[in-house]
C-alpha cells in the first residue's frame, strides 16, 4: 500500500537521520575534545564510524524503494551491498570484543592499563578489527558472485542478504552454505566467547572490591557496553547462527529492521546517557556553540 510505504519512509528516514547525527556527534566530540583522547572513547568513536557505514549500506536503498517504488538493484550493486554488510558487520563483532578487552584491562589490570591499552594500541586494534571483518566477508562474497541465479530474480528482502540470495540460485549450495555457517560461527561466536570471558573475569574482580561504591562504579563502566552487546548479539545470533534453508523471511525482515535501523539508533543513547565524562564534553560543546551564537557584549 502506497500510504503504508510513505509512513514507513517517514519513520525510517527520521530514524536514519537521527542515527547519523548521533554517531557523527560522538565521532566529532572524541576527535575535538582532548579529554576524550583515551582508548575507551577512541574505540567508541571507531564503533560509531562502523555504525554509520553499516546503516548506510542498507537504509538509503530501502528508503529509495519505499519513496520511489524503484525496487530494483543491479547485480554488481547487490554483490557490493552483500560484501559491505557482512564485512562491516563482522568488523563490529571484532570491535565489540576489543572494547570488552579494554574494560577488562581497566578493571582487572588497572596498574598496567596504560601499558596494555595505550592510545596507539587502541587505534591498532580498531584497524585490526576493521581489516579482519572485511577479510572474513571476502570468501562468501566471492562464492556468491560465482552462482547462477534463476528467473525471476526477486529478492524476498529489503537488502541483499545471504539466505534470500541462496534461494534464487539454480545450483546446489550445500557446500557453500556449510562454509558460510563455519565462518559465521567462527566470527560471531568466537568474538562472543571472548566478550563473555572478559566479563566473567570482570565480575570476579568486581566482587573482590571491598567497598560497595567501588563495585557500583566498576559495574557502571561496563553496563553500557554490556547492553549494546546483548542487543547486538541477540539479533545477530538469531539471524546467522542457523541453517539457511527453510527460512521464513517474513520474521527475518522484522529482525533485520531491528539490527539495521533500530539498534544503531539505540547504541549512542545507551553509551552517552550513562557516561558522565561524555555528557560533560557534550554540555561543554553545546555551551561553546551557544556562546558563539549569542556572544556577550563587553564595555
**Tens-place pLDDT, residues 221-270:** 777 778 888 888 887 877 777 655 455 556 778 888 888 888 888 888 88
Work out whether the CA dihedral 288, 290, 292, 294 comes out positive or negative: negative
The pLDDT tens digits for 168-183 are 888 887 777 888 888 8
Q: Within a 13 Å sphere around the CA of 52, how many CA atoms are in the beta-carbon half?
A: 16
**CATH number of residue 108's parent domain:** 1.20.1070.10
Instruction: Please name the residues in contact with 97: beta carbons below 8 A apart, sequence gap of 6 or more.
Output: 129, 191, 194, 195, 198
Burial class (CB in 10 A: 0-12, 13-18, 19+), 26: buried
Cell of 274: 550513562
In a domain, 295, yes or no: no
What is the pTM (predicted TM-score) of this model?
Answer: 0.87
Domain membership of residue 25 as a residue range: 2-284
DSSP E strand boundaries for 156-287: none
Contacts for 4-11: CB closer than 8 Å, 24+ residues apart: 5/66, 5/67, 5/69, 6/66, 6/67, 8/66, 9/63, 9/66, 9/67
In a domain, 296, yes or no: no
Q: Report the distance separating Cα 82 and Cα 96, nearest Å.
A: 21
Nearest-CA neighbor of 96 among 211, 219, 234, 210?
Answer: 234
The pLDDT tens digits for 70-105 are 788 998 999 999 999 999 999 999 999 999 999 899
3-state secondary structure of 289: helix
In a domain, 289, yes or no: no
Q: From the CA atom positions of the chain, what is the Rg in Å? A: 21
Q: Report the distance separating Cα 188 and Cα 162, nearest Å.
A: 15
Domain count, the chain: 1
Phi, psi of 169, deg, nearest 5: -75, 145
Q: Report the distance separating Cα 62 and Cα 218, nearest Å.
A: 41
pLDDT over 90 percentage in the chain: 36
In a domain, 272, yes or no: yes
Most confident of 13-27, 147-161, 233-247: 13-27
In a domain, 291, yes or no: no
CB count, 10 Å around CB of 260?
Answer: 22
In a domain, 201, yes or no: yes
Q: Report the distance separating Cα 40 and Cα 215, nearest Å.
A: 19
Q: Residues for the chain: how many in total?
A: 299
Amino acid at each position: 500500500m502506497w500510504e503504508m510505504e510513505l509512513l514507513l519512509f517517514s519513520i525510517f528516514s527520521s530514524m536514519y537521520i537521527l542515527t547519523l547525527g548521533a554517531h557523527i556527534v560522538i565521532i566529532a566530540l572524541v576527535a575535538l575534545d582532548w579529554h576524550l583522547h583515551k582508548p575507551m572513547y577512541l574505540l567508541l568513536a571507531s564503533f560509531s564510524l562502523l555504525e554509520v557505514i553499516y546503516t548506510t549500506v542498507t537504509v538509503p536503498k530501502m528508503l529509495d524503494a519505499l519513496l520511489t517504488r524503484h525496487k530494483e538493484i543491479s547485480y554488481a550493486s547487490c554483490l557490493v551491498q552483500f560484501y559491505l554488510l557482512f564485512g562491516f558487520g563482522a568488523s563490529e563483532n571484532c570491535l565489540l570484543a576489543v572494547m570488552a578487552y579494554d574494560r577488562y584491562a581497566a578493571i582487572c589490570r588497572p596498574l598496567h592499563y596504560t601499558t596494555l591499552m595505550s592510545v596507539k594500541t587502541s587505534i591498532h586494534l580498531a584497524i585490526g578489527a576493521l581489516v579482519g571483518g572485511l577479510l572474513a566477508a571476502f570468501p562468501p562474497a566471492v562464492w556468491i558472485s560465482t552462482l547462477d541465479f534463476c528467473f525471476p530474480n526477486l529478492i524476498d528482502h529489503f537488502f541483499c542478504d545471504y539466505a534470500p540470495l541462496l534461494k534464487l540460485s539454480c545450483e546446489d549450495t550445500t557446500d557453500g552454505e556449510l562454509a558460510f555457517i563455519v565462518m559465521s560461527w567462527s566470527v560471531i561466536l568466537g568474538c562472543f566467547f571472548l566478550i563473555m570471558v572478559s566479563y566473567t573475569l570482570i565480575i570476579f574482580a568486581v566482587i573482590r572490591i571491598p567497598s560497595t561504591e567501588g563495585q557500583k562504579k566498576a559495574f557502571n563502566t561496563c553496563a553500557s557496553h554490556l547492553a549494546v552487546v546483548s542487543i547486538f548479539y541477540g539479533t545477530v545470533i538469531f539471524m546467522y547462527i542457523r541453517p539457511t534453508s527453510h527460512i521464513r523471511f517474513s520474521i527475518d525482515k522484522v529482525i533485520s529492521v531491528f539490527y539495521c535501523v533500530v539498534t544503531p539508533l539505540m547504541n549512542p543513547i545507551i553509551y552517552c546517557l550513562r557516561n558522565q565524562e561524555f555528557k560533560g564534553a557534550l554540555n561543554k560543546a553545546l555551551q561553546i556553540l551557544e556562546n558563539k551564537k549569542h556572544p556577550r557584549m563587553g564595555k
